[in-house]
Each structure stands twice: as structure tokens, then as C-alpha cells.
Amino acid sequence: MSTITDRAKSWLAPDFDEETRKAVSNMIEENGPELTDAFYKDLEFGTGGLRGIMGAGTNRMNKYTVGMATQGLANYLKKCFPCRDDLSAVIAHDCRNNSRFFTETAAAVLSANGIKVYVFDNMRPTPELSFAVRQLKCQTGIVITASHNPKEYNGYKVYWEDGAQIVAPHDVNIIAEVEKIKSIKDVNFQGNSKLIVEIGKKIDDIYLKKVLELSLHPDSIERHNDLCIVYTPLHGTGIMLVPRALEMYGFTNIHKVEAQCIPDGNFPTVKSPNPEEGTAFELGIALAKKVGAELIIATDPDADRIGLAVKDGDEYKLLNGNQTAAILFYYVIKNRKPSTLPYYIVKTIVTSDILNDIAKSEGIEVFECLTGFKHIASVMRAKEHTMKFLIGGEESYGYLCGDFVRDKDSIMSSCLISEAATWAKDQGMTLLELLNFIYKKFGKYTETLRTEVHKGKEGAEEIKAMMADYRKNPPVVMEGQPIVEIRDYLTRKITNLVNGTVRDIDLPVSDVLQFYLANGTKLSVRPSGTEPKIKFYRSERTII
């Protein structure tokens, strides 16, 4: 505690603003858990950037931690591109409290270091930031967002010049530069306004034109343009582009949940702004029942994830991320346009294997990667000259079609899933009936996810201990079934418990364990990389 208190007292120096000094002084006086959690460590600049609770402290999202991260990024850019005097970056932000302030902070630091900065004039979806990096030929991009985290959080994600989130070697190299920033005295906050350029509608128009080019069956939309759709952005950035994109596709019967179209970082109408949570759909379902909607679409605050509810008799059925993926992948794969290069798809190791079955039935190669869209983007980067990316996705409600964006994209997903609904109508089916048709053809995959939350310093230690115990004392039976194979992505080894053979995993190191049971059930466990959670996945296939 004395070390923590000393760290806190250093934030009482005149270098910090009065509001910060007052908040820290109060924490020191109370000497409680808040002081410990705010100062027991530095907010880690991880392999994607920063994410944490907003407030004063070394382990918090604030002007100073954002400034130090940005100074480290600026230093790395100069080392990485030593011969360039025209370095540039683009920054976008979501609807969260302080997101615009953190955007302006990052822009000031980059411009103070001689880097030109394009800043969106208002909140924008994360996938548009990915697109803008490529479109504007920038060396890096930053999006200020904590995705679907609770309102207390904010975050800072870094993208490289290919429009994808940073991966090796840039991730660890940037981390090294950030860790060299030991004091806010090392940060140049004095921005150069001449190097800061505002952008907006022009980029929107170019991006939406590319989204429209993904359409596979405009004729189906023309026949069913009155498909009744309810849309909610859950107070987030999706309102900027999703309704407009759907209208460009030709849909004429779109109903917005007006109360949730108001940008608000406090997310007043939902318990959690997460389309994975059923409660996020309550207002959408009420409106859908009123207008007779066939499809409800919800996007998270930074509009990279999409959740769906489909009409099921007089009620609405929430689809999980794997079910939505099955429909979207099946539609895109079956109706793909001709290509001179062989197509491929990408999925993560915890995403439903039904996607493998769908792709292989059409002779399309499947690549699997670790959880996180940056790994899908890495496959895209490696294959872009020899193969053609068709679609990628992960069970956590994120999907991408086409290669002009390098992150999950709810805008294009909203359009294509709505178009799939009209195509299904042409086949005499609803989306739910289409899903059941896919299950009959490939087998029904039933996936469940259980999440445990372990907050703070103690929580992080608990999660670490749980994973260590699984490795030290691995189970031999689960659900009454013997375990026949264990895949450990930390050691990158696959152990067959039947014959004792061991083989390598050709993927980067990750703290993930997978247990394969004798009856074919797959159980996976991994700590979340962005939240204080540990996740347990279960997948079972049955023939129907």
C-alpha cells in the first residue's frame, strides 16, 4: 500500500490538472479499494491498445495515459518510417463519455510530433476507421472506443497502414516504446492545429459506395423492398451509417428505435449496450411487435458487432453469433460472384464448425485463427495476392465481407443479412426457416457460452490461477465423457490422450485451452482480452 500511495502522490504534482489532483487527493484520503485499483499498476498498452475504466490514476483511461500511449506510438512511427517526413494518422471515436476529448488529446500529441492527423467531425463506426486508414494512405489509425463494455469504460485501439489492428511485430514494438514513457513530462501535448484536418461526409460516401458493391441479389430486394426491419444503434455510432446503407440497398420499410438513436455514453435505456445480451433488444422487440417487423438489427456502440432477432410466429427469436454467422456465410458462399482467384473464408477457433462444413461443400478453403479480428486480418494480409477473401467471422457477433475493410463491420453485415432475408423469401423461407434448412443439411450445431466476471486486481489473479490449474491438473472426464484430445494454445501443442501423440499448433501463442470429448463435443476456455472475464464455450453437433 505504501508503494501504491507513493504512486498516487506523484499525481498531485503541478503537471497534472486541478480536477485530477483533487480526485487523487480524495482517493488518498479515503485509502480504500478505489485507490488500490487506480494505482496498483499502469494501464497496460496491450497488443491492441488500451482499455479500462475512466478516471484518475495510472490504471485508468484519462488524458495522461492516453497521452503517454500516443507519444509512444508517435516515437515508434518515426522509427518505423525514418525516411518519411509526411507521416499521417486518422482518428475516429464512438459515443462514449470523453471519447471526443481523448480523440482531441491523441490528435494534439501526434500533431505536436509533426504527424498529420485526420479527425472525423463526429462519432463514426470502427469499420469506417479501418477503411479510412487505407483510403487516406495513412501509416496508422486510432479509434477511441470500449466497444460493448459498460459505460464506465473507454478504450484506444491502434491500426496499422493496412487498416487492420496491430499485430506482431508492431504490437510488441509499440508496447516497448510506450513503456519507455516514464513521465508525462515525456509527452508533447502542445498540438499543431495546422496538421489536424477534419474529415467526414466525403469518406462516408466512398465507404458506403463500396458497401453497396457487395450486394449479391439486388433483384431480391427489389421484389421485397418492403421487408419490415427494426433497427437500434443502442445509442451508438451505427446511427451514422446503418439506416443510410440499408436505404441505399433499396429497403424502404425501416423503423428506428428512436429513444436509442440518441448518442449517449451513459446508455440510459439498456442494462448493457451489447447486442449479445437479450435485454438490449427489449425496446426493439416492443417496436417490432407494433409494426410487424420480420427482422430486428442491433449494433454495439462502435458498430462493429451486430445482433439479430427474427420473427418466430408471434414472438421474436434472438440469434446467437454462430447462428447469424451460419446464415450470413451460407448466403454469401452460395451466391458468390465469379473470381479469377480461389476464394477462402476465415473463422476463429471458438466459432462454429458449421462454417467449415458450408465452405467445404462448395470447395472453398477454410483458415482458422485465434480469437480477435486482427488475426482474421492477418490471414487476409498473407493471402491477398494469391487468393480472394470471401467472408470472415467470429462467434462474438462480428463479421466481414469484402477486403476494403480489415475489421468486423456491422454496416455491411446489416445490409447483407437483410438482403439474405429477401433471398430467403424468394426460396419460400423466412430467415429462421433458412437456418433450420442449413441445420438439416449440415447438422445442428448447438453452441453455448458461459462467462464469469472477475473484477480488479484480485479478479485478474483469480483468472490467471484458474488457467494455471487447468494446465497443472487437466481433467480426464467432462460431462461423463472421456477427454480424447487437449489443445493448449499457450504451449502450442495438441495432445491425443488415446494414443499419446503430440503435435504442434501452427498459430501464435494464446492463453486458450480446448478439450475434445469422445462424443465429439468441444469445450473451450479462455480469458477475455478486453474485459475482466473468463469465457467457457461449448459446441455440440447433432444430426436432424
Annotated catalytic residue 524: no
Average pLDDT of the segment spanning 46-75 = 93
DSSP string, 117-163: EEEESS---HHHHHHHHHHTT-SEEEEE--TTS-TTEEEEEEEETTS
pLDDT band for position 224 (cuts 50, 70, 90)? very high
- E strand or H helix at 308, and its extent? strand 306-312
Quick: pLDDT tens for 342-400: 999 999 999 999 999 999 999 999 999 999 999 999 999 999 999 999 999 999 999 99
- pTM value is 0.94
Helices (H), 346-491: 354-361, 373-383, 410-426, 431-442, 456-472
Q: In this structure, are strands 533-542 and 444-453 parallel, antiparallel, or unpaired?
A: antiparallel
Cβ atoms < 10 Å from Cβ of 230: 28
Q: Which of 88, 99, 147, 524 is catalytic?
A: 147
Q: What is the distance between the alpha carbons of residues 169 and 172, in angstroms, rounded to a whole number?
A: 6
All cell numbers assigned to 313: 410466429
Q: What percent of the chain has pLDDT over 70?
A: 100
Confidence check: pLDDT of 529 > 80: no
From the number of C-beta atoms within 10 Å of its C-beta (0-12, 13-18, 19+), residue 313 rates as exposed
Average pLDDT of the segment spanning 194-205 = 98
Q: What is the distance between the alpha carbons of residues 40 and 274, in angstroms, rounded to a whole number?
A: 29
